Structure formats: structure tokens, C-alpha cells
Structure 1
């Protein structure tokens, strides 16, 4: 499996930075349905108190677009195309997330202890939108095992 280079298009993963406002009382980061997201926001969710040994993801979306942030601690997001080529994002700055268009296999791991991720999605939850079987997603073996998480 080779590596891909990142290009900023609606069909390619890329970095996304939220606008922020600094003040003596703290820093406010925000997203709204304007130009701060590459889609209209439909759903937001977070996962907290993630153990360092956790492995999450192991799926792709048919239509849903997401931006994944690690807003406390750090983690690594691995994305794979259908040929098994990898893109890697180290999420460790709360305002900097990874844009994940549909059609990319998602793996998360390499967490710092008690990390927290925040996901902004273009669609409400719909189980039918998920591809959870790697044999259905990847065009050829070998492909990343859904339990396997690459390590740096």
C-alpha cells in the first residue's frame, strides 16, 4: 500500500482549521453554516475519555462528509482509498481537523490518555450509509484489517 498526497478538493481529504477568537477569558473556536465548513452541518457528536489503547473507526461512508477534531489530547486518523493507499493525520491542535469526504475508509488510534474527539457531519446518523465490511470497500487484498490500527 502506497501513500497519497493531500490535495484540497471536495472529494479529497484535507486539513481544515476553524476560525478562532482569542481573548483574556479564553479562545473560542467555531463552525457555522457559512464558509467555515465544506458542507452544511447536520450533526455534531463527541467521544470523550478515550483510553490510549482504543481503536475506533473501521468503516467508510457512502454519502456522509465529516470533519474530525481531537479537542483534548491527541490521536491519529488513518484514511484509506479503495486501493488501500493511506493518508495520515495527527490530530493534536483543537482547532485543526481533518475533512473526510465519502468513500474513504476511516481508522482512529494512537490516542493520548483521556482524549476527546469531536465530529461534525453533513448527515444525520443513518446505519445504511456505513460500509463496515472491508471486503465490500477495498478493491483488492491485502487491505487494512478493521481491528488492525497502524502504528507510527
Structure 2
């Protein structure tokens, strides 16, 4: 099974402003089926709190910053801070996560390998741990 990892995306530097781009399979291992973003998250709020059974995901901080907290079945946690638009966090299936500590005007972009399917979500942490 794949592991979470930070993916560096191409960064084309230009005095007029930098450019970063993504291409399926060149920069990550799936074809994008769904794109969504979160924004205007009030201070102190937490997003996520689930895992996907089969969906893969890339999370990118397009603006501002936030922390992605990964929880493992042994109850250990890992915090990954995202704050640059030219890298993203790859999450394979069965990765429990939540997002917190959003800065003012933070914008998180999510690229998914699957269309929305409520049946793909694992929303109960104890059920996740028992898999």
C-alpha cells in the first residue's frame, strides 16, 4: 500500500509571478475525478475527521496555511503543516485525517481519485481502527 508523502510540484519562476501546474500521472498516481476546496473556515474549526476506503487524495494549501493531522491505528499522530502552493500532501486510501489551525484566508484544494460516494467514507474512528 502507498504511504502519505509530500509531492513537490513544478515551479516555474518568473519576475511577473510564479506558475505551478499539475498533470495526471506525471505528478501523482491517479486521474482526477473530483476537485473541491475549503475556505472561510472560522478560527478554531476542524475539517475532515474521516478516512476513505478506496479514494486517494492530494491536499494543497493554495493560500494561507493549515495543519493536516494524520492518525494511525496505534493512536499515534503526525502533524503535517501545509503552507506553500507548490507542494501537496498525497493521502492513499485508509488514511485517517483531520485539518486544523487554519490561518486567516486559508484556501485548501483537494484533488480526488473518485467521485463523491458517501459509502466510501469511514467516519467512525473506532471502526477505522478495527479494519
**Do Structure 1 and Structure 2 share a fold, with TM-score over 0.5?**
yes
Q: What is the DSSP-based 3-state SS (H/G/I as helix, E as strand, rest coil) of the residue aligned with 2:3?
A: coil
Aligned mate of 2:71, from 73, 80, 84: 80
Aligned mate of 1:54, from 19, 35, 45: 45
TM superposition shift of 1:83: 2.2
- Structure 2 partner of 1:132: 123
Distance 1:133 1:13 in 2: 21
Relative contact order (alpha carbons < 8 A, sep ≥ 6): 1 or 2 greater?
2
Q: Deviations over 1:94-134 (max 9, x none)?
A: 11211111111111001111211001111111111000011
TM-score of the two chains, using structure 1 as the length reference: 0.80
- Structure 2 partner of 1:66: 57
Distance 2:38 2:128 in 1: 25
Gaps of 5+ in 2: none
Aligned mate of 1:114, from 94, 98, 105: 105
Q: What is the DSSP-based 3-state SS (H/G/I as helix, E as strand, rest coil) of the residue aligned with 1:26?
A: coil
Gaps of 5+ in 1: 1-9, 140-152
Aligned mate of 1:26, from 8, 11, 17: 17
Q: Deviations over 1:44-95 (max 9, x none)?
A: 1111222231200110000000011111110000111222222221001111
TM-score of the two chains, using structure 2 as the length reference: 0.91
Structure 1's consecutive aligned runs of 4 or more residues displaced over 6 angstroms after TM superposition are none
Distance 1:70 1:52 in 2: 16
Number of residue-to-residue matches in the alignment: 131
Aligned mate of 1:11, from 2, 20, 43: 2
Counterparts of 1:36-47 in structure 2, within 5 Å, are 36-47=27-38
- Structure 2 partner of 1:96: 87
Q: Is the 8 A contact 1:40 1:122 kept in 2?
A: yes
TM superposition shift of 1:34: 3.1
